[in-house]
Structures are given as C-alpha cells and as structure tokens.
Chain A
C-alpha cells in the first residue's frame, strides 16, 4: 500500500512540477534557514570555545571603571586609574596568581618606506608573553632593560608583517610607529582570529614605557588594563575574589562602596557572548519556524486543491475497490513526499548557504547531522500534520458523489 502510494505521489507531483516547486518554497526556506543558521551558530561557538581555550581558561582582566555606569558616582580625579603597581602587587601578593601584565594601548600608523598600515600598538612588560603564552616566529622579546630604558624596539604581529614586508624577514628592520622609529626585534607567532572576529595578529607589541612616553607622550604609571593569569583553572574563582579584595584594599574602597574597577574572567565574557548568540538563534529559529508553518499551510492548501481536482480519480479508485486507508495513504504520502522534497532541497540549500556565507564572511561553519535530521524530520512531520486533513477528506469521499464530480 505504501509503496503504491509512494509511486502515485511521485507521479502526481511530477505532473505538477511548477506547482509542487512553489508549494515547497516555504518549507525549503525554513529548512535551509535552520540548517545554515545552526551551522554558523555551531561554527561560531566552536571557534569561540577553541579560541577562549587557546587564550587560556585561567585569564582575568582588570579594567578601571564601575559596573554601574551611573554618572553620579566618581568625581573627576577619583575615577582611580589602574597602574603598574597594581599589576605588580597582584602578582607579588597573591599565591593564586602566576603572572600579571599591565597593558597600554594606542592606535598607531606603522610605516616602512612607502608602505604603511594602521594597527593597534600594545605596550606591556616582559611578563606579557607569560600571561598570553604567545610564542615567536623569529627574533626575541624585549628585555627588562628595554622596558627600563623605553627602548625603541617592537615586535610585529603576522598581519602587520605581511602588510609591510610581505614574506620577508622584518627582524632588524626599522619601522616608524607614529613618529617614533623603532627597531623590529621579533615576529610574533600566528594567533589567528579572536572570538569576535578581531585579528590577534594585527598588532605591534612594545615595552609599555616606550608606548607611554614616546607614542602617548604621557608620564606616570597608569595603565589601560591588567591581564592576570591564575596558576590554573581550578583556582580561578578564588583568584578572582582575591584580586577584587586586593584591589579594593589598594584603592581604599570602604565596605559598602562600589568597586572602581571591573574584574572579568573568560567565562563571563563567554557567557555574555553566548547570551547574545542564543537570543539571535532564538530569533532566527522563530523566523525559520514561521517559514515552516507557512510552508505547511501551503502544503495543506495545495493538497486540498489537489483532492478537489482529483475527486473523480478518487471516485474511480473507490469504485474499483480502494479502501479509505488506501486513499488516505495516497494523499498523505504525497504530502510527505512534497514537503520531504522541500526538506531535502532546503537541506542542500542550507548547507550551500552556510558554507558560502562562512566563506564570504570568513566565519567558521560546523554542520551537525542532528540539525539535518531535525530539518528533514520536521519537514516530513509537516507533511504528515498538514497533509492529514486533506488526505482524510479524500478518504471519506463517497464513491458515487466523487464519480459524479466534474
């Protein structure tokens, strides 16, 4: 019975290709959206997890400022900045901490001959390499002495190197950062892309003192942020609490008063990102769901039309001995095949779109078989649900009435 129904379904649909094609558009789009979307979503999550993992799960960031950005608190001057001493104190006094790196940043134009590139200059101490566990392709890091003397030296990220030197070795060359000529002493290892699409390799690294005095033309010991690496992931929670306590003490923040700094760990950042991502997925999934629903209604509509058009055929089948369930099966299978075709095409389109988008936007895609199964299952399910009513209507026809139908 089912085999016969399947044959009839294929026959009937192939006689009305255009109509079938238009009918399944909704389902096709819905399934394609689900597949492409989950592939991109999964890909993004994979990338983020991978990169956060690569960064190290035991990193903490300390920024100046407060969680409540209400302008009421903090008169000018009391918005206490972080400084290098804070960084040193955290490293020195807390047993849970492995190393800290004070960080200053500046946008910078880097020039060599006629070539130039806009990038981000990062100034830090020698501990930066330990905190970020960032290796070298060539050359060397700057030394304590370089930091002490604000030496005009720098290390290039791979992206900057390619922009300025192509594949050539930049070590030993002199580049101008802003107006400061610096000797390139090293080439950083390739880090790749960050969680939010930023390019880690699009950077130049130099002693914090050099950046402060020569590029920012500032003095003092203030820093933009402090990166802290805990001994291991297990002590993260404790390390974060200790950092907060120590900073409160150093900044003389009384009980009940709010912090004038923010401490964040990777999980916080990750969960913020996850939240955004899941909101976005929910939104897209509801759109996909609506497309599927509309597609289902389209299937139902076309099946009702089909049943009406083929009333005489149904009458003939009933007259020669088809049972109600034979007719039900015929039209139900037709609806399922119809939406299934939409599902398969949608799957193919979704894979194509996901892959193409990923390629065009340079996003990672990860196709999960579960998504494919769900998409196909959903589309077939739509066929069953929305095909049932028309099919039952066909099956309940009276043979004489059906035969008289014109």
Chain B
C-alpha cells in the first residue's frame, strides 16, 4: 500500500458514560507510527493505555478524531467493518492470552483464518507454520490447559501473526508472566521485529519491558505526555542469566 505511516491518529478522544458521569479516557491523542517500528506504550494504571490499544486495534470506535490505519480511515466503521479490519490488518495479543479453552493450539491459531474462509488444509498449514515460528512446533495438539503461561502467550502471538497482519498490538503481554517467561516472550517479539520487520505496539507499565522497544510513548490522564526514541534498546534474554 502507501508508504505513509501504518498508524496515523489525530485528535483522538474517547469518553465513556458511566451512570450520569461522562468520563474522558482519552483527551486528544496524536500518534503516528511507521512501518517497522517497535513502540512501547507506558503510563500509570488507568491512564488510558488499554483504551488507546482497543482503538488502535479497531476493537472500539473513537468518540472524536481521525484514525487512519494503513491509509484507510477506520474512525467511523460499524461493528462488522471493524471485525473485517481486525481480521485483515491487525494481530492482537492480550494480557490474559484469551485462547479458546479445550481447543488445541493449532485450532486456536487457525481461528482468524477460519473467519476469512481460508480452506481448512491451507489453514492448518499456516497455523502450524505460525506455531513453529513462535517455537511451539511440537505443541500443536496441546490445549491451553496443557501449556504454561509463556507457551499460551506464544500461541496467542502465533494466532495474531497467522494472518500476516500490518501491525501486532500487545496489551501488557507479559503482565501475567513471571520474569523468566517475560524475557522469553520479549525475546520472541524482538526477533519478530528484527527478522521480519514486524510493526509492534506493546503496552506495558514496567520500565524494563518498555526498555526492549525502540520508542517509548507515555500516556497520562488520557494524553501522550512523552514520546522518546530509544537509541539502544535492551536485548531481552540478557536478564535471564542475571535473575
């Protein structure tokens, strides 16, 4: 497509009505992200990080502002159009993995392709490939209950990648993981970024997780208050020897 930014948000606002009160979760966010960037979004709890991610991932619709995703205006799409955009352009990784229970890793990864109408053999091939890419080529038939937290999150990453999305969005992907597995997942993300030029946006409130990205955006009270280039990102996995 165009050589323009993958993401271009201008004056994005999001407000929630809770009871009688109108709550402004995002108050004018401008954010531009180019192809191949690895961005960490940080900020205190309740600052609006997840709200921003949900908008970025077309899971929700901004109350105001304009959002261009890969050149398409997605600010005002209806539910089905957003579902289509999610399926075609976005891979989403959640803090809580969000895998289908009692369903094999392979079938979990196949899911987005199933909603694209990909024939089942092709689906299976690509899902197996994606699982191999995240180092789970030997766990195709394991259900989430038969996998560790780190492995589950890798299945979720494989599911996000199987559609070959324009961006990978990860909302606190290591929030439910211990230090060792956190490093594992970060290493995987860094490899995907370095080797395949994947555009990654990752929410985290942990400094040493954010340090692995190449750019750190800080959100506070629904606004972007800092946006720094990180000239020398930390290499994930280095911590493993230390602690």
Interface residues of B in 96-110 (CB under 8 A from A): 98-102
Whether B114 and A323, one on each chain, are in contact in the complex, defined by CB atoms closer than 8 angstroms, is no
Chain A contacts for B98, CB-based, 8 A: 312, 315-316, 319, 403
Number of interface residues of B (CB under 8 A): 25
A-B residue pair count with CB separations less than 8 angstroms:
54
Instruction: Pick the contact of A313: B59, B92, B100, B114 (CB < 8 A).
Output: B100
Q: Mark A246-289, 1 if CB is under 8 A from B, else 0.
A: 00000000000000000000000000000000000000000000
Smallest CB gap from B117: residue in A: A1
Tell me the minimal C-beta distance from A9 to chain B in angstroms.
Answer: 14
B102-130 CB contact bits vs A (8 Å, 1 = yes)?
10000000011011110000000000000
Instruction: Assess A323 versus B80: contact at CB under 8 Å? Given A4-B114, A317-B115, A399-B59.
Output: yes
Complex Cα distance A30/B87, Å? 43
Are A321 and B84 interface neighbours, CB within 8 A? yes
In the docked arrangement, what's the CA distance between A328 and B54, Å?
Answer: 23
Select B115's contact among A15, A315, A321, A403, beta carbons within 8 Å. A321
B239 within 8 A of A: no
Out of B60, B79, B92, B116, name the residue touching A324 (CB < 8 Å).
Answer: B79
Q: Which residues of A contact B111 (CB under 8 A)?
A: 316-317, 320
The reply on B38 being an interface residue by CB < 8 A is no
Query: Nearest B residue to A313 by beta-carbon distance?
Result: B100
B162 nearest CB across to chain A (Å): 9
Given contacts A315-B98, A318-B83, A321-B88, contact A400 B54 (CB under 8 A): yes
Contact with B87, one of A15, A320, A325, A398 (Cβ below 8 angstroms): A320
User: Which residues of chain B in 162-209 are interfacial with respect to chain A, using CB atoms and an 8 Å cutoff?
Assistant: 163
State the CA gap A321–B83 with chains docked (Å).
4
Q: Which residue of A lies closest to B159 (CB)?
A: A320
Q: Are A15 and B102 in contact (CB under 8 A)?
A: yes
Of the residues B59, B87, B117, contact of A400 by C-beta under 8 Å: B59
A76 to chain B, nearest CB (A): 87
User: Is B67 engaged at the interface, CB distance under 8 Å to the other chain?
Assistant: no
A322: CB under 8 A from chain B?
A: yes
CB pair B87 A321 closer than 8 Å: yes
A316 vs B98: C-alpha distance in the bound complex, in angstroms? Answer: 6
Chain B residues numbered 41-64 whose CB sits less than 8 Å from any CB in chain A: 54, 59-60
A224 contacts the other chain (Cβ, under 8 Å)? no
CA distance A319 to B93 in the complex (A): 10
Closest to A320 in B: B112
Give the residues from 65 to 85 in chain B that come closer than 8 angstroms, CB to CB, to chain A.
Answer: 79-80, 83-84
Given known A-B contacts A15-B102, A312-B98, A319 and B59 have beta carbons under 8 A apart: yes
Q: How many residues of A contact B (CB 8 A)?
A: 21
Docked complex Cα distance between A315 and B98 (Å): 9
Query: Does B86 count as interface, using CB distance less than 8 angstroms?
Result: yes
In the complex, A222 has a CB within 8 A of chain B: no
Chain B residues lying within 8 Å of A15, measured Cβ to Cβ, are: 102
- Report if A42 contacts B (CB, 8 A): no
* B112 proximity list for chain A (CB < 8 A): 320-321
Name the distance in Å between B81's Cβ and chain A's nearest Cβ. 9
Residue A199 lies at the interface, judged by CB distance under 8 Å to chain B: no
Q: Report A332 CB to chain B, min CB distance, Å.
A: 16
Tell me the complex Cα distance, A319–B96, Å. Answer: 13
Contact (Cβ within 8 A) B115 A322: yes
A324→B83 CA distance, assembly (Å): 9
Interface residue A326 (Cβ < 8 Å from any Cβ of B): yes
Distance (whole angstroms) from the CB of B76 to the closest CB of chain A? 16
- Highest count of chain A CB atoms <10 Å: which of B83, B99, B159: B83
- Bound Cα distance A399, B79 (Å): 9
B159 — which chain A residues lie within 8 A by C-beta? 320
The reply to whether B79 and A321 form a contact with Cβ atoms under 8 Å apart is: no
Contact of B86 among A1, A4, A319, A325 (CB under 8 A): A319
Q: A400-B54, A403-B94 are in contact. Are A323 and B59 (CB under 8 A)?
A: no
CB distance from A183 to the nearest CB of B (A): 84
Tell me whether B115 and A323 are in contact (CB under 8 A). Answer: yes
Q: How far is the CA of A403 from the CA of B87 in the complex (A)?
A: 16
Instruction: Mark contacts of A150-188 with chain B using CB atoms, 8 A cut-off: 1 yes-contact digit, 0 otherwise.
Output: 000000000000000000000000000000000000000
B102 CB contacts on chain A under 8 angstroms? 15
The answer to whether A324 and B80 touch (CB under 8 A), given A316-B100, A319-B86, A319-B92, is yes
Assembly CA distance A316 to B114 (angstroms):
13
Q: A403 CA to B156 CA in the complex, in Å?
A: 14
A323 and B86 within 8 A (CB): no
B60, B92, B115 — most chain A CB neighbours (10 Å): B115
Q: Determine if B99 and A316 form an interchain contact, defined as CB atoms under 8 angstroms apart.
A: yes
The winner among B54, B60, B79, B88 for most chain A CB atoms within 10 A is B79
Residues of A close to B163: CB separation below 8 A: 321
Report the separation of the CA atoms of residues A316 and B103 in the bound assembly, to the nearest whole angstrom. Answer: 13
Asked if B59 and A320 make an inter-chain contact with CB atoms under 8 angstroms apart, the answer reads no
A320 to B86, CA, bound (A): 6
- Residues of chain B within 8 A (CB-CB) of A324 are 79-80, 83
Can you list, as one digit per residue, whether each of A1-13 has a CB less than 8 Å from chain B (1) or not (0)?
A: 1001000000000
Question: In the bound complex, how far is the Cα of B61 from the Cα of A399, in angstroms?
Answer: 11
Q: How distant is the Cα of A315 from the Cα of B88 in the complex, in angstroms?
A: 17
Beyond A400-B60, A403-B94, 15 additional pairs, beta carbon < 8 A: A1-B117, A312-B98, A313-B100, A313-B101, A316-B98, A319-B94, A320-B92, A320-B112, A321-B83, A321-B84, A321-B112, A322-B115, A323-B115, A324-B79, A403-B98
Nearest 10 pairs between A and B by C-beta?
Answer: A321-B87, A320-B112, A321-B115, A323-B80, A322-B115, A321-B86, A323-B83, A316-B98, A399-B59, A320-B111
A–B pairs, 25, beta carbons within 8 Å: A312-B98, A313-B101, A315-B98, A316-B98, A316-B99, A316-B100, A317-B111, A317-B115, A319-B86, A319-B92, A319-B98, A320-B111, A320-B159, A321-B84, A321-B87, A321-B112, A321-B116, A323-B84, A323-B115, A324-B80, A326-B115, A398-B79, A399-B59, A399-B83, A403-B98
